[in-house]
Amino acid sequence: MSHLPVLQVIIPLLSAPIVVLLGRRWAWPVTSLVGLVTAGISLALLSLALSGDPMLYAMGGWTAPVGIVYRVDVLSGLLLTIIGVVGAVVLVFARQSVAHEISEDRQHLFYAVMLLCISGLMGICITADVFNVFVFLEISSLSAYALIAMGRSPRALTAAYRYLIMGTIGGTFVLLGIGLLYMMTGTLNMDDLASRIPAVADTSTVRAAFAFMTVGALIKLAVVPLHFWLPNAYTYAPSVVSAFLSATATKVSFYVLVRITFMLFGVSLLAQTLYMSKVLLPLSLIAIVGGSLVAVFQTDVKRLLAYSSLAQIGYFVLGLALHNVTALTGSLIHLFNHAMMKGGLFMVLGCVVYRLGGASLDQMKGLGRRMPITAFAFVIGGLGLIGVPLTAGFVSKWYLIVGAFEMGQWWVAGVILFSSLIAVAYIWRVVEVMYFSEPVESEICEAPLGLLIPTYTMIIASIIFGIWTAPMLHVASSAAEMLFGGMR
């Protein structure tokens, strides 16, 4: 049990080369088995983190200042669970979808890179060493570029290239910030940094470090106006990759942002409050409204969902910018809920692509008749995105709105509600096409069960966690309280 933190990262990391060696036939079974094991470990870690103090794990027995320490608290537990569970479901989904979208000689490489990406993302969330964060950030980013580039369309390459440029800039910024911090404090351990930064907080070097690290994280998070890599990347990536990255990658970047804001710098920076209210709040609101508005006018449903993701990223950041426990709880629970909903919706599109070869509005005409089960899944997932009560989306929005009220920012609550209506507009555009347009061909071609079962697992989970909210609320609110407790 005590080695679980390191197993969490090392199992997918080491399985990756094994999968390459095993070759095509065994790639999928091994990968999905690893996915399930990783998900199990992440759940175990979450329950351990919930039951007591943060769990520390010294790599190779070398303790903090010398060696690298892994640290599992509720917040990292939450993120690990999201990555683990979504990863497992997506990998199960992958078999038929990948067989259809990726050429046979590259499939085992695909699975290997997928495992690398999982282990990179997990590593970011689990390590307590800032340089280690950078290393894992690069592992996950490089594998993500490769995954996106495997899309069938030639534009996948340019999309991946653009992401590569932006991601590298972001990564470099983070590294610069880390360097500056190391220069000022002489440590890379997060806990040590937190205790040493206050003494030197009032220097331009630390302020510069703060600026570099937050901007770096904001690029990786794709907050408007640093979002340009995201829509193309999600649109042209293979369906499996869109589902996985939309559900996990941005969440992990948000985690990095939260760690930087709360753990490293805490209240020690005066600029902190300024940056919250004058930078993050307006940016998040622009993202929420702008992302949703642009989504309304998309003709490719994958791209539509990508822009919707930009808006949802706005919600995460908004909860951080409002700066109280309620709103941050909303933000953290939205990480989980959005992973379920958006992951599920991209998987629905995976089913559509599997049968129809693409997911443009034209191709989805009359889908309600041709693929009734798939189309219905889209409706349910869409209702969640809108935030209809009894879906997971409602819970997060409720907390964000109450949080805005607590800060006396009525108009922010108004913006949140208004953006839900724009969500109605873009979801209903798809619904109308699916149910009111005549299909191009009329024969029924429902997706195979191997795709439908994982898809429905996610979609139904988004309903279940909209009704049975207690467990995730407990996790999110303890994480939020821990973060604010750390600040006092």
Partner 1 sequence: MSLLVPIALPLIAAVCVFGIGGLLGERWRNLRDGLHTVLAVVTFFCVTRLYVGVTQGNSFDVSVIEVLPDLPIAFSVEPLGMLFALVASGLWIVTSVYAYGYMRGHDEQHQTRFFTWFAVAISAAIGVAFSANLMTLFVFYEVLTLSTYPMVTHHQTDEARKAGRIYLGILLFTSVCFLLSAIVWTWHISGTLDFTPGGILAGKIEDTQVPILLALFAFGAGKAALMPFHRWLPNAMVAPTPVSALLHAVAVVKAGVFTILKVVVYVFGLDLLTTTGANGWLMAVAGATLLISSAIALTLDNLKARLAYSTISQLSYIVLGAAMATASGVVGGAMHIAMHAMGKITLFFCAGAIYVGAHKKLVSELDGIATKMPWTMAAFTVGSVSIIGLPPLGGAWGKWFLGLGSIEAQAPMYVAVLMVSSLLSVGYLMPIVARAYFRPLPDDDHSHEAPLLCVVPLCATALGCLVLFVLGDEIYQLILPIVKGAG
Binding site for partner 1 (CB under 8 A): 383, 387-390, 395, 398, 401-402, 405-406, 413-414, 417-418, 420-421, 424, 428, 432, 435-436, 466-470, 473
Closer CB to partner 1, 166 or 475, in the complex: 475
In the complex, minimum distance from the CB of residue 349 to partner 1, in angstroms, rounded to a whole number? 22
Closer CB to partner 1, 151 or 393, in the complex: 393
Cβ(393)–Cβ(416) under 8 Å? no
Closer CB to partner 1, 117 or 395, in the complex: 395
Residue with tokens 């992440």: 42
Residue 57 backbone dihedrals phi, psi, to 5 degrees: -135, 115
With b for 16 or more beta-carbon neighbours within 10 A and e for fewer, the 171-193 pattern comes to bebbbbbbebbeebbebbbbbbb
Closer CB to partner 1, 222 or 461, in the complex: 461
Residue 33 to residues 38, 241, 248, 389: CA-CA distances in angstroms? 9, 18, 19, 35
In the complex, minimum distance from the CB of residue 337 to partner 1, in angstroms, rounded to a whole number? 13
Q: How far apart are CA 38 and CA 81, in angstroms?
A: 9
In the complex, minimum distance from the CB of residue 363 to partner 1, in angstroms, rounded to a whole number? 19
Residue with tokens 């693929």: 371
CA terminus-to-terminus distance, the chain = 32
In the complex, minimum distance from the CB of residue 256 to partner 1, in angstroms, rounded to a whole number? 29
- Does residue 154 have a cis bond before it (omega within 30 degrees)? no
Torsion, Cα 67 70 73 74, to 10 degrees, reads 160
Cβ(41)–Cβ(4) under 8 Å? yes
Closer CB to partner 1, 8 or 326, in the complex: 326
Closer CB to partner 1, 110 or 465, in the complex: 465
With the C-alpha atoms ordered 72, 73, 76, 79, is the resulting torsion angle positive or negative? positive
Cβ(12)–Cβ(116) under 8 Å? yes
In the complex, minimum distance from the CB of residue 292 to partner 1, in angstroms, rounded to a whole number? 13
Closer CB to partner 1, 181 or 416, in the complex: 416
Closer CB to partner 1, 182 or 435, in the complex: 435
In the complex, minimum distance from the CB of residue 60 to partner 1, in angstroms, rounded to a whole number? 43
Cβ(229)–Cβ(148) under 8 Å? no
Q: How far apart are CA 82 and CA 445, in angstroms?
A: 32
In the complex, minimum distance from the CB of residue 478 to partner 1, in angstroms, rounded to a whole number? 13
Q: How far apart are CA 257 and CA 378, in angstroms?
A: 31
In the complex, minimum distance from the CB of residue 473 to partner 1, in angstroms, rounded to a whole number? 7
In the complex, minimum distance from the CB of residue 231 to partner 1, in angstroms, rounded to a whole number? 26
Q: How far apart are CA 82 and CA 252, in angstroms?
A: 10
In the complex, minimum distance from the CB of residue 301 to partner 1, in angstroms, rounded to a whole number? 18
Closer CB to partner 1, 261 or 469, in the complex: 469
Closer CB to partner 1, 238 or 330, in the complex: 330
Closer CB to partner 1, 199 or 467, in the complex: 467
Closer CB to partner 1, 432 or 441, in the complex: 432
Closer CB to partner 1, 207 or 369, in the complex: 369
Q: How far apart are CA 169 and CA 110, in angstroms?
A: 25
In the complex, minimum distance from the CB of residue 432 to partner 1, in angstroms, rounded to a whole number? 6
Largest CA distance in the chain: 71
In the complex, minimum distance from the CB of residue 308 to partner 1, in angstroms, rounded to a whole number? 17
In the complex, minimum distance from the CB of residue 294 to partner 1, in angstroms, rounded to a whole number? 20
